[in-house]
Structure formats: structure tokens, C-alpha cells
């Protein structure tokens, strides 16, 4: 097993984009931080240990929001549509669904967001690698689907932290959640981290959205690009993610980081295109947070298998927490 370089060593090669780790998991790698080629990430032993230690009661909680949320979606995305098709003379139905894979709960894959200045995706791939006559399925979501995003999940409940400390929070303000608050919330929960953990941060967006009126939902989606609150972007938060050795990160807001980002490169650039680290958004964390609060236990076994869509840029997570 190779050792993991320090954050200060990034990028690993002269001329590569800022903070990138291209080549660390192999020149043709399509899994990034999900790879098992580095000790203590998502190896078979790490996953098996998580299953043994985290599955205690058998309680299962879905982390997928319904496919028909958001309505309407932001970022100019197409809304979910289902067509239920009767098949007479038999008493049978089929259905056809049309979705943007990022209009509800999602994993952003490695074709989603490039380094914007360099116009390069994870491993140095370009738009031509995806859209030209020589295009292949490289960096598609199918690579993640083949292995799944499976291991020890950890939940940081920023909502409860804000309530406890009487901090206000607006989802349309573009306010950044400081790293210091994320760390303080984890400390208050007595939550410790292990290499290979899958990080979830609850901001309360899905609960807010469920309580909003139809008019408020339309207003939320109208700006393009929209303004959403999320974790702070930039080097400091990226360094923490790298040093904690998270295999993937996720939240319940439309953007994991505050959007639009005010610093370049953004976390989307560094995580997705620099490290091949999946970013999850719009996860439904409400039932999980309630259970964790009731049991004073903030870790769980996560099983998530994205759609095996060759060449896909993102996917619903098909995620479940088992406790």
C-alpha cells in the first residue's frame, strides 16, 4: 500500500490544477477517494469493520428524498416526470420516468464539474473525452456503481448546533457554514472520525422546503445561478476533508458548499476533479437525525449504490443507513 501524501504536497505533479491528486490512485483511475489502493480508505477490511461495528439494531432509514423533489428544480434543470402506462387487456402497468439526475437526492460524479479555469475533469479528462467522436465512458458514474459507496457514515447535525447556540441560518443568503462550526458540532456530539468515513452534514434544507408554499418553492428556484447556503468553500475546508480522509461528503442542501462560490478553486473543483471524491446533495437526513438524537449515536453503516448508467454525470444515491 502507498502512503497518503500531505495536503501541502498537492498538487502531486507540476502543472496540474491546484490541490489535485492526479496519479495518486493510478493514471487511469476512475474511483478517486473510493479507491482501495490506499490503506485505510474503502478497502474490504474497512467496509467489513464498519458493518460489524455499526449494525447493532437493524434499524434501516432511507436517505433518498422523493424523485419528484425539487419542483421546480434549481439551476435550470428539468423537472421530474412520471408516466404510468396501462397495458390492456391485461391488468398491468408500466411506467416511464424522466429525470435530471441532480433534481433530487444525488451523488455528483466525476463528469459533473471540472476545474473551470483549466477546463479539466478528474485525471485530466476534457469535454472532448465525453462529447467528441472519440468519446468513451471514462469517468462515468458506472465506476462508482460497480463498487457502491459503502462504509461507515457519520452525521454532523448543524441544525441542532445552531438551535443550541441561538445562531440564525438562511438558505437563500449564501451564508457559509464555517469549518469551526462543523468541528464544534462534531465535538458536541462526541463524534470522532476514521479514515474512509462518509461525511454527512445536516443543514435542514429539506425540512424547510417541505414546509414552504408552492410560491416560495418557485421563488427559491428562479435565480440562475441560485444562491444557496452551504459549507465554506476553499482551501481550509478542503484541507480538513483531506486530512480526515473522508471517502465521500454529502449534505441535504442543493449545493454542498455555499453557492455561488466566492473562492476559486471551489470545493466542487477540488473534490470532484482534483481527488475524485463524490459530493452528495439533497439527501433526506431528517429521520436519520431524529434517530441519532434519540440514541446519542451519530455513526451508522451506509449502503449506497448509484445507477449503473454508463457515462453518467450523476445519480440518485439509492442510499440507506443501517444502525
Q: What is the pLDDT of residues 47-86, one digit of tens each?
A: 999 999 999 999 999 999 999 998 888 888 999 999 999 9
Handedness of CA 132, 81, 105, 35 (dihedral sign): negative
Alpha-carbon torsion angle 93, 283, 35, 276, nearest 10: 110
Residue 1: band (very low, low, confident or very high) from pLDDT cuts 50, 70, 90: very low
The 10s digit of each residue's pLDDT in 79-90 is: 999 999 999 999
Of 208, 28, 204, 57, give the one whose Cα is nearest residue 124: 28
Q: In whole angstroms, how far apart are CA 301 and each of 37, 53, 314, 320? A: 21, 8, 22, 8
What is the structure's pLDDT at 63?
A: 98
pTM above 0.85, yes or no: yes
Looking at residue 35, its pLDDT comes to 85
Return d(Cα 283, Cα 277) in angstroms, integer: 17
Q: Strands, DSSP E only, in 103-227?
A: 106-108, 149-157, 176-177, 198-202
Amino acid at each position: 500500500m502507498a502512503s497518503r501524501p500531505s495536503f501541502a504536497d498537492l498538487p502531486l505533479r507540476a502543472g496540474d490544477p491546484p490541490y489535485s491528486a492526479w496519479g495518486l490512485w493510478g493514471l487511469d483511475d476512475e474511483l478517486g477517494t473510493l479507491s482501495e489502493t490506499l490503506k485505510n480508505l474503502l478497502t474490504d477490511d474497512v467496509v467489513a469493520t464498519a458493518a460489524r461495528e455499526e449494525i447493532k439494531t437493524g434499524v434501516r432509514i432511507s436517505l433518498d428524498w422523493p424523485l419528484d423533489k425539487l419542483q421546480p428544480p434549481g439551476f435550470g434543470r428539468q423537472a421530474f416526470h412520471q408516466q404510468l402506462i396501462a397495458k390492456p387487456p391485461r391488468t398491468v402497468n408500466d411506467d416511464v420516468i424522466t429525470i435530471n439526475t441532480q433534481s433530487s437526492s444525488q451523488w455528483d460524479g466525476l463528469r459533473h464539474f471540472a476545474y473551470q479555469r483549466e477546463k479539466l475533469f478528474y485525471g485530466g479528462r476534457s469535454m472532448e473525452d465525453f462529447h467528441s467522436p472519440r468519446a468513451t465512458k471514462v469517468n462515468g458514474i458506472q465506476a462508482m456503481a460497480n463498487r457502491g459507496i459503502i462504509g461507515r457514515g457519520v452525521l454532523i447535525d448543524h441544525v441542532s448546533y445552531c438551535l443550541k447556540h441561538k445562531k440564525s441560518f438562511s438558505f437563500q443568503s449564501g451564508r457559509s457554514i464555517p469549518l469551526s462550526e462543523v468541528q464544534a458540532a462534531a465535538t458536541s456530539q462526541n463524534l470522532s472520525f476514521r479514515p474512509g468515513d462518509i461525511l454527512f452534514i445536516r443543514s435542514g434544507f429539506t425540512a424547510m422546503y417541505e414546509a414552504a408554499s408552492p410560491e416560495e418553492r418557485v421563488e427559491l428556484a428562479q435565480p440562475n445561478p441560485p444562491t444557496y447556503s452551504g459549507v465554506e468553500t476553499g482551501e481550509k475546508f478542503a484541507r480538513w476533508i483531506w486530512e480526515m480522509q473522508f471517502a465521500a461528503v454529502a449534505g441535504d442542501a442543493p449545493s454542498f458548499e455555499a453557492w455561488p462560490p466566492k473562492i476559486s478553486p471551489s470545493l466542487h473543483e477540488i473534490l470532484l476533479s482534483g481527488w475524485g471524491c463524490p459530493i452528495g446533495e439533497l439527501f433526506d437526513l431528517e429521520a436519520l437525525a431524529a434517530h441519532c438524537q434519540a440514541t446519542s449515536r451519530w455513526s451508522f453503516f451506509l449502503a449506497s449504490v448509484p445507477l449503473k448508467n454508463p457515462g453518467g454525470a450523476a445519480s440518485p444515491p439509492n442510499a440507506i443507513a443501517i444502525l
